[in-house]
Amino acid sequence: MLRRLTKVRRCVRGISPVIATLLMIAIAVVASLVAYAWVMGWIGGNVARTGSAIQIQSFAYNPDLAGGTLFVYVQNVGQGTVKFGENSVYVNDVGYRTDVASVAEGKTVTFTVSGVVLDTSESVRIRVVAESGSPAEVRGVPKITSGGVVNPSASPVGSPSPSPSSSASPSPSPSPSPSPSVSPSSSPSGNLVLDASNARTYNSGFDSFSVPLTTSRDNVLLYVSVTSYSTYVTGVSVGGVNLVCRQGAGNVVSFGSGSYYMSTWWAIVPTAGSLNVIISMSGNTVSASAVVFAVSGVNTASPFDGVYEVATGSSTSVSKDKVLGGTKEMVLGMLGVSSGAENNPVPTAASGYAMYYATQNSGSYRTLQAGEYQVFQTSGTKTAGFTLSASRDWVLIVDAVKPAS
Q: What is the pLDDT of residue 201?
A: 86
**pLDDT at site 153:** 35
pLDDT band at 10 (very low <50, low <70, confident <90, very high): low
Show the domains of the chain with their CATH numbers.
54-167 (2.60.40), 184-401 (no CATH)
Q: What end-to-end distance do the CA atoms of the chain give, in Å?
A: 128
**pLDDT at residue 366 is higher than 60:** yes
Peptide bond into 135 cis (omega under 30): no
Q: Is the pLDDT of residue 166 over 70?
A: no
What is the reported pTM?
A: 0.57
Non-local CB neighbours of 260 within 8 Å, separated by 6+ positions: 227, 228, 229, 254, 336, 338, 367, 393, 395
What secondary structure does DSSP assign to 304-337, as a single string? BSS--EEEEEEEEEEEEEEEESSSSEEEEEEEEE
- Residue 249, helix vs strand vs coil: coil
Question: % helix / strand / coil in the chain, to the nearest 5?
Answer: 10, 50, 40
For residue 143, count other CB atoms closer than 10 A to its CB. 14
Task: Look over the chain and give the mean of its residue pLDDT values, rounded to a whole number.
Answer: 80
CB 62 within 8 A of CB 148: yes
What does the pLDDT average to over 5-30?
Answer: 69
Of residues 338 and 100, more confidently modeled: 338
Residue 352: which residues within 8 A CB-CB, separation 6 or more?
A: 180, 181, 183, 374
Report DSSP letters for 43-86, one per residue.
Answer: HHHHHHHHTSBEEEEEEEEETTSTTSEEEEEEEE-SSS-EE--S
Q: Which pLDDT belongs to residue 41?
A: 64
3-class DSSP assignment, residue 40: helix
